[in-house]
Structure 1
Amino acid sequence: MPEDTVRIDGNTLLLPGGVRVRFIRTLRLPEKGTHALPPGLGEFPVRRVEDYAETVPAEWRERGGVMLPVYLREAMWLAFGGSTEPAALQVGVGKVCAVSGRPWSARLDRDPQNYVVLPRQPWLDGINSGKGTVRQFVAVPLGLGATVEGQVTGEEVWGGIQLQSFPLSPEKLERWRADQRRLARASRTAGAAGGYGAPPAPMAMAAPGAAPGSAPKRRAAAMGLGVGGTMRQEIYRDERPAADWSSEPGARVFVHLVTPPEWRRITGEAPPPSPVDRAAYTRAGLPWFDYFDEDGTDVAPAEELTSVQPVGEWLGEDHEPWQSPAPGQIKPLGDAPGKPVADGDW
Structure 2
Amino acid sequence: MGGDSVRLDGNTLVLPGEVGVRFIRTLRLPEQGTHPLPPGLGEFPVRRVADYADSVPPEWAARGGVMLPMYLREAMWLSFSSKEPAALQIGVGKVCAVSGKPWSDRLARDPQNYVVLPRQPWLDGINSGKGTIRQFVAVPLGLGATVEGQVTGEETWGGIQLQNFALNDLELARWRKAEEERREQAARARYGSSDNVWLAGASGAMPPPAAPAFGAAPPAPGGHPSASLPRKRQAGALGLGVGGTMRQEIYQDERPLAEWSAERAGRVFVHLVTPPDWRRITGEAAPPSPVDRAAYTAANLPWFDYFDSDATDLAPADPLANVVPVGDWLGDDHEPWQPPTPGQVHHLGDKQGKPVEDGDW
What residue identity is the alignment partner of 1:190? A
Partner of 1:257: 272
Partner of 1:196: 207
Q: Which residue of 2 aligns with 1:114?
A: 113
1:270-289 alignment runs, 5 A limit: 270-289=285-304
Aligned match for 1:301, one of 316, 319, 329: 316
Classify 1:3/1:316 alpha carbon distance in 2 versus 1 (closer, same or farther; 3 Å). closer
Q: Identity of paired residues, percent?
A: 75
Equivalent residue letter for 2:158: G
Measured after TM superposition, the shift of residue 283 of structure 1 is 1.1
Superposition pairs for residues 318-333 of structure 1, below 5 Å?
A: 318-333=333-348
Deviation at 1:284, TM superposition (A): 1.2
Q: Which has the larger radius of gyration?
A: 2
Question: Equivalents in 1 of 2:80, 2:190: separation in Å?
Answer: 30
Kept in 2, the 8 Å contact 1:160–1:221? The answer is no
**What is the rounded CA distance, in whole Å, between the counterparts of 1:220 and 1:114 in structure 2?**
30
SS of equivalent to 2:5: coil
Counterpart contact for 1:4–1:250, Cα < 8 Å:
no
CA contact (8 A) 1:158 1:221 kept: no
- For 2:43, the equivalent position in structure 1 comes to 43
Which residue in the other structure is 1:201 paired with? Answer: none
Cα distance in 2 for residues equivalent to 1:292 and 1:183:
24
Per-residue deviation at 1:335?
A: 2.4
Q: 1:62 offset after TM fit, Å? A: 0.7
What residue is the counterpart of 1:239 in the other structure? 254
Give the secondary-structure state (helix, strand or coil) at the position aligned to 1:101.
coil
2:64–2:357 contact (8 Å) kept in structure 1: yes
Secondary structure in structure 1 of the residue aligned to 2:17 = helix
**1:298 Cα deviation (Å)?**
0.6
**1:36 and 1:159, CA in 2 relative to 1: closer, same or farther beyond 3 A?**
same
C-alpha deviation, 1:54, in angstroms = 1.0
Provide, for residues 300-323 of structure 1, a one-character-per-residue CA deviation record: whole Å limited to 9, x for no partner: 101000100000000000011100
- The aligned residue for residue 194 of structure 2 is none
After TM superposition, the structure 1 stretch with the greater mean CA deviation from structure 2, 224-233 or 186-195, is 186-195
Deviation (angstroms), 1:186: 2.3
Q: CA deviation at 1:276?
A: 1.4
Q: TM-score, normalized by length of structure 2?
A: 0.87
AA partner of residue 323 (structure 1): Q
Q: CA deviation at 1:103?
A: 0.2
- In structure 2, the residue corresponding to 1:97 is in which secondary structure? coil
* Match in the other structure for 1:134: 133
Q: CA deviation at 1:290?
A: 0.3
CA contact (8 A) 1:142 1:223 kept: yes
What pairs up with 1:49-128 in 2 under 5 angstroms? 49-81=49-81, 83-128=82-127
- Residues in 2 aligned to 1:290 and 1:112: alpha-carbon distance in whole angstroms: 26
In the superposition, the TM-score normalised over structure 1's length comes to 0.91
2:282 is equivalent to residue 267 of structure 1:
yes
SS at match of 1:165: strand
Q: Give the drift of 1:190.
A: 3.2
> What is the SS of the residue equivalent to 1:299?
coil
Q: CA deviation at 1:273?
A: 0.4
Shift of 1:189: 3.0
Contact 2:48 2:356 in 1 (8 A): yes
Residue 151 of structure 1 aligns to which amino acid in structure 2?
A: Q
User: Structure 2: any 5+ residue segments left out of the alignment?
Assistant: 192-199, 209-231
Q: Is the 8 A contact 1:59 1:218 kept in 2?
A: no
Deviations 1:290-344 (A, max 9, x none): 0011111111101000100000000000011100011100000002611111111
Look up the SS of the partner of 1:80 in the other structure: strand
Gaps of 5+ in 1: 198-216
Indicate if the aligned counterparts of 1:23 and 1:76 stay in contact, CA closer than 8 A: yes
Deviations 1:13-38 (A, max 9, x none): 11111211000000000000000000
**Within 2, Cα distance between the matches of 1:91 and 1:327?**
32
| Amino acid aligned to 2:45 | P
Count of paired positions: 325
Q: Distance in 1 between matches of 2:305 and 2:236?
A: 33
RMSD over aligned Cα, in angstroms? 1.8
Give the structure 2 partner of residue 30 of structure 1.
30
Which residue in 2 is equivalent to 1:17? 17
Work out the CA distance in 1 between the residues paired with 2:335 and 2:31.
Answer: 12
> What are the superposed Cα offsets for residues 30-83 of structure 1, whole Å, 9 maximum, x if unpaired?
0000000001110000000001111111111110100000000000000003x1
Picking from 287, 306, 312, the partner of 2:327 is 312
Answer whether contact 2:305 2:346 (CA < 8 A) is retained.
yes
Q: 1:125-170, CA deviations, whole angstroms, 9 ceiling, x for partnerless residues?
A: 0000111100000000000000000000001000000000000001
Matches within 5 A, 1:198-217: none
